[in-house]
Amino acid sequence: MPAGIKEQKEAPTGSMGSYLRDSWGEAGDEKEYLFVRPEDIGLFHIFSQEAPVLLSGIQSSLMLLKSGQRADVPQLYRWFHILRAQWAFLGFYQMRQLCGTTENLLEPFLISSEIPAEDYLDSLLKAMASCRLQVDRITRGLSMERIEVWDAEPVLTAMKRQAAELTDSSRGVKPVEGLAEIFVRALQDEKFFKIQDEQMDDLLQLLGDLSIDQAAFLEEVPGQTLDGKNAATAAHMAKTTKKLRDLFLSLRLVSCRPLFEQADGAVQRFSWMAEKKIQLVVEGMDMQVDRPLLSALSGALLQLLKNAVEHGIESEAERLSMGKPAEGKLRLKATQQAGYFLLEVDDDGRGLDLDKLKKKGMDLGILRDEKAPASRVMEMIFKPGVTTGTQEGRGVGLDQVETLVEGLHGSIRVQSRAGQGCKFLLKFPKSQSLIEGWVVEAGKKEWILPISQVWKITHPTPSVTEKALPPEEASLPALDLGKWLGEEDSESPKFSVHVESGSRQFRVMVDEVKGKQQVLMKKQNADQSRKPGILGEAILANGNVGFVMDTGELAKLLELKHKEQNNE
Q: SS3 string of 153-182?
A: HHHHHHHHHHHHHHHHCCCCCCCCCCHHHH
**For range 209-214, the mean pLDDT:** 68
Task: Give the Cα-Cα-Cα angle 265, 269, 274 (nearest 5 degrees).
Answer: 145
Helices (H), 91-227: 93-106, 118-141, 153-168, 179-189, 197-220
Q: What burial class does residue 223 get, using C-beta atoms within 10 Å of its C-beta: 0-12 exposed, 13-18 middle, 19+ buried?
A: exposed
Look at residue 199 in the predicted model and tell me its pLDDT.
73
Look at residue 1 in the predicted model and tell me its pLDDT.
44
Residue 116, pLDDT above cutoff 50: yes
Give the contacts of 542 (CB within 8 A, at least 6 positions apart): none
Residue 241, pLDDT above cutoff 80: no
The band of 20, judged by pLDDT with boundaries at 50, 70 and 90, is very low
Look at residue 112 in the predicted model and tell me its pLDDT.
66
Give the contacts of 522 (CB within 8 A, at least 6 positions apart): 205, 208, 209, 211, 212, 536, 537, 538
Q: Which residue has the higher pLDDT, 334 or 429?
A: 334
User: How much is the mean pLDDT over the chain?
Assistant: 75
**For range 143-161, the mean pLDDT:** 87
What is the torsion angle, in degrees rounded to the nearest 10, for the CA atoms of residue 526, residue 531, residue 532 and residue 536? Answer: -60
- 96 contacts 139 by C-beta, under 8 angstroms: no
- 184 contacts 45 by C-beta, under 8 angstroms: no
**For range 149-177, the mean pLDDT:** 70
Residue 344, pLDDT above cutoff 90: yes
**For range 225-249, the mean pLDDT:** 71
Q: Which residue has the higher pLDDT, 100 or 431?
A: 100
Helix (H) or strand (E) holding 329: strand 328-337
Look at residue 22 in the predicted model and tell me its pLDDT.
31
Q: What pLDDT, in 10s, does the model give residues 510-524? A: 888 888 877 777 766
Residue 101, pLDDT above cutoff 80: yes
CA pair distance 347, 351, nearest whole angstrom: 8
Say which range, 237-241, 376-380, 491-495, 528-532, has the weakest mean pLDDT. 528-532
Look at residue 210 in the predicted model and tell me its pLDDT.
73
Q: What pLDDT, in 10s, does the model give residues 85-98? A: 889 888 888 999 99
Residue 373, pLDDT above cutoff 50: yes
Sheet holding 328-337, edge to edge: 278-283, 328-337, 340-347, 421-429, 411-417
CA pair distance 509, 491, nearest whole angstrom: 11
**Torsion-angle region of residue 67: left (phi > 0), alpha (psi -120 to 50) or beta?**
alpha
User: Measured between alpha carbons, how far is residue 118 from residues 61, 64, 113, 114, 152 in Å?
Assistant: 14, 12, 15, 12, 20
Residue 212, pLDDT above cutoff 80: no
Residue 488, pLDDT above cutoff 80: no
The band of 423, judged by pLDDT with boundaries at 50, 70 and 90, is very high
Say which range, 171-175, 255-259, 417-421, 549-553, has the weakest mean pLDDT. 171-175
The band of 249, judged by pLDDT with boundaries at 50, 70 and 90, is confident
The band of 340, judged by pLDDT with boundaries at 50, 70 and 90, is confident
Nearest alpha carbon to residue 252 among 294, 284, 280, 212: 294
Residue 561, pLDDT above cutoff 80: no
Q: Residue-wise over 266-296: b if at least 16 C-beta within 10 A, else e?
A: bbebbbeebebbbebebebbebbbbbbbbeb
% of the chain at pLDDT higher than 70: 75
Decide the pairing of beta strands 445-450 and 545-549. Answer: parallel
